[in-house]
Structures are given as structure tokens and as C-alpha cells.
Chains A and B, each alone.
Chain A
């Protein structure tokens, strides 16, 4: 998927542990780990809002679009 989630970077910058963020957002650590590794199909606005609130950042700081990325199984490759 060409959308990259820079959550790891933000966590390191803010010196916040995954466990604390997961507890604040209200998701499991497993799901947060999936989110960090961009292995999710989507993210709810509510989750994004809580993450931004806790890390004091903007959605743009967490999400990044990279056009050259290798497509996943569900994305279509157009040239």
C-alpha cells in the first residue's frame, strides 16, 4: 500500500511507549503493532483523533503517501 504510517517515528520523537498509547486510544497493543507496520486496511477517524491528541500532532505527521511503493493484493497498479 502506498500509504505509510509513521507512528513509530512519532512515538520515538515524543518518547511515548506503545502500551501507553494503546491504553489511551483504547485499542490492543497487537492492533497498534499492526498499525505501526502498516498492515491494516484502514484507520477510524476516532482512532486517528485519539492518537493525534495523545502525541500532540497532526494526521499528516502520521500518514504519508509514497507513490512508488509496491502495491498490495487489494490495490490496483496503474501506469
Chain B
């Protein structure tokens, strides 16, 4: 109460008095009060970080769910008869695909559907991971497994994007469908980047596994 009545010069004291919920502050001079403020601030930061992580995980999960819905809707819209042309009227679709495959919309839709399914599985595992983060399970075995599955889905999307078109075109040529005349393997820098990002996620999963072991070990220290 005294601090409230004091001048603006004593604002840090006021903060210390309001924040010393855990560590009671009976400071006599300025240095002690600053120390008290630091201790309490450190404690508060710890709490806020944990709560923030959980809150961010929740919002990120909502975002992922929205992306999942968009992926489903976009795939359905593009698979509809004339969907590709209609979509191109309103939105410029900049998705890159192998040129020979562009002449065969059905094969393109098959490839897109496959990639969408892998993407949905990966995003589903990501939502499960974020759900675990929300409940405070940061380094559990389940969390590591979900992250690994998400990284694998990223890698599979890249591989499917690179190797599915030539395989589809080859199958089309062998079956004599759609007069397929050329087969091309298309790998660009985006694919390399995605593969590298998935590798990074694999490494993070590995580190999380080690952290889980350490946390388990720490739990056995009384």
C-alpha cells in the first residue's frame, strides 16, 4: 500500500511488492528489493512460459485443423469434373507438376489425392502431438512417435511428388492410357528443402527422445 502512494521513481519496488507471491519479500534497501524482484520475475517467467507453450500448442492445433479442412476441400474441389479449370479462373494455382502429367488431368488428380492423403495423415499426427503438448506431455514416448510420423509424412510427400508422376506415366504408357509419350522426373529446390526440413524434424524427435530419457531419470532422483 505504501508503494502505491510513493512516487514514480519507486515503480520497480511496486512491481516487487505485487509479484512476490511465492518468495516473500522483506527487503530493507534498494539492492535487496531488486534481488527480490529478480527472483520473483524468474519464477513468474517459468510459469508464463509453460502456460504460453500450452496455449500456443492449442492455437496451433486449431490452425492445423483448419489446414486439414482446407486440404480436404481443395482436393474434392479439384477432383470434381471441370474443377481444375474452375479453380484456375478464380485462383492462380501455382503448384508445380511434371509437364507430361499436366496433359493427363486424371493422373494428376490421382497424384494430388495421394499427396493429400499423406498430408492429412501427417497433419493428424501433428494435431495429436499438439494435444499432448497441451496436456503438458512434452517429452513422452508418444510425443516423439507423433513427431517422427509427421516428419515421415513430410518426407513421403516429397518422395511422392518426385517419383509418383513418372511411375504413373510409366503405368499409363504400359497400359496404353491417354497416349503417354514422355516420362519425366521432376525434382526442384522445394523438394530438397522439404526433405531437409523433415530431416531436421527427425533430429528434433531424436533429441526429444533423449530428453524424455533424461526427464525419466530425473524423476527417479528424490
Contacts and interface: CB of A to CB of B under 8 A. Distances in A.
Contacts of A58: none
Interface stretch (B5-13, B65-73, B82-90, B214-222): B214-222
Grouping DSSP codes into helix (H, G, I), strand (E, B) and loop, the A interface class, with mixed when no group exceeds half, is: mixed
A19 B221 CA distance: 19
Interface string A21-38: 000000100011011000
Interface residues of A, number: 11
Nearest to A34: B222
B213 to A, nearest CB: 12
Interface string B181-222: 000000000000000000000000000000000000100111
Nearest to A39: B220
Contacts of A40: 220-222
Given A34-B220, A42-B221, 8 more contacts: A32-B222, A40-B220, A40-B221, A40-B222, A41-B221, A43-B222, A44-B221, A44-B222
Instruction: Give the 7 A-B residue pairs with the shortest CB-CB distance, closest first.
Output: A41-B220, A42-B221, A31-B222, A35-B222, A40-B222, A40-B220, A43-B222
17 contacts: A27-B222, A31-B222, A32-B222, A34-B220, A34-B222, A40-B220, A40-B221, A40-B222, A41-B217, A41-B221, A42-B220, A42-B221, A42-B222, A43-B221, A44-B221, A44-B222, A47-B222
